[in-house]
Chain A
Amino acid sequence: MMKNLLLAGLMFFVLGVSTAPAKEALPVGDDPVVQARMMRLATVLRCLVCQNQTIADSHADLASDLRNQIVELIHQGKTDSEIMDYMTERYGDFVLYRPPMKASTLLLWFGPLLLVVIGGAALYRSAQDRQRNSADETELTLEQKRLADQFLNRKSSES
């Protein structure tokens, strides 16, 4: 009895699993190592349809096509840099989340640094100006000193 029940349970389990709706088809890559490598590459590639997402995050058709394409390239024995080249040959540097350093991207790479330098220089100059101005103003005349003393003394005697 127990045995039958167990068998029935097992049958149910097996059938249940086999008839469960298949997940998103992964045509060539269910190998976890390949999947992990594909995902690592996909997180540094921009999806061109929804431009602020990576190919790994995006649900766009093109992103899933490109993920499959990466898996296929991995199976063909391509190296990571060959796969990146494959993508930039087709979609340009724009697919790379980390743009290459070259003449046209110098401003992109060093623009922030340039802003920090300009801002720093401006800050330094204005600080200098302020120091110079305040240096002029701290000299009190004798009359001002006397008034200040008088005022302070009165304050302290009141309390």
Chain B
Amino acid sequence: MSRFWPLAIFFGLVAFLYVGLHRDPHEVPSPLLGKPAPAFALTRLDDPSTTITKDQLLGHVYMLNVWASWCVSCRDEHPVLVEYVRKHPVEIYGLDYKDTRPEAVAWLEQLGNPYKAALFDSDGRVGIDYGVYGVPETFIIDKKGVVRYKQTGPISPEVLMNTLAPMIENLQKES
């Protein structure tokens, strides 16, 4: 019997390592899930004189997409979002994280603007409140202003169609 122990330990180790292989240490679970989204009051990217607050968005289901013109993987994600809003009744707000207005505006003109409004977070303070550590990040916020989902890293068409879109549709049915 005892001669089987090394084999058992070996397979135990293999199981551990196999699971570890498929876990991304960069995906840190957000403590915000199920909690009210942090408040913000930010100016519009295209209009510094207009401020949008979180309270104004209550009653709507929306995606809050954190992006920046300096962010390389945002370029991959962007067409996915542009396509998504073109075909579906969904509200996406952009959070332009630590960026400059001219560069961000030019970026949207060049690549298309999927946002109902882009909010300008120049010093990244709202980003800190949302626990942003790797742009792009996307939050889904329900009608009561509660964070229901967080995606770190670019949204792929598969993730959007299989996870995000069905979730948004369900949340839109909630009262």
Contacts and interface: CB of A to CB of B under 8 A. Distances in A.
Interface of A: 48-49, 51, 61-62, 65-66, 69, 88-94, 122, 126, 129
Contacts of B28: 48, 91-92, 94
Contacts of B26: 51
B24 to A, nearest CB: 11
Contacts of A88: 31
Given A66-B128, A129-B2, 12 more contacts: A48-B133, A48-B134, A49-B133, A49-B134, A51-B25, A62-B124, A62-B133, A90-B31, A90-B131, A91-B28, A91-B31, A122-B5
Contacts of A69: 128
Nearest to A125: B2
A87 to B, nearest CB: 9
B163 interface: no
Contacts of B128: 65-66, 69, 90
Contacts of A122: 5
B29 interface: yes
Tell me what chain B mostly uses at the interface: helix, strand, loop, or mixed: loop
Nearest to B130: A90
Contacts of A65: 123-124, 128
Contact of B129 (A48, A49, A90, A129): A90
B25 A92 contact: no
A90 B29 CA distance: 11
Contacts of B53: none
A94 B28 CA distance: 7
17 contacts: A48-B28, A49-B134, A61-B124, A62-B124, A65-B124, A69-B128, A88-B31, A90-B31, A90-B38, A90-B130, A90-B131, A91-B28, A91-B131, A92-B28, A92-B131, A94-B29, A129-B2
Interface of B: 2, 5, 25-26, 28-32, 38, 98, 123-124, 128-131, 133-134
Contact of A92 (B29, B123, B130): B29
B133 A91 contact: yes
Contacts of B130: 90
A70 B125 CA distance: 12
A92 B98 contact: no
A27 B26 CA distance: 30
Contacts of B124: 61-62, 65
A137 to B, nearest CB: 18
Nearest to B123: A65
A92 B133 contact: no
Nearest to B25: A51
B12 to A, nearest CB: 11
A129 B31 CA distance: 51
A158 B133 CA distance: 81
A65 B134 CA distance: 14
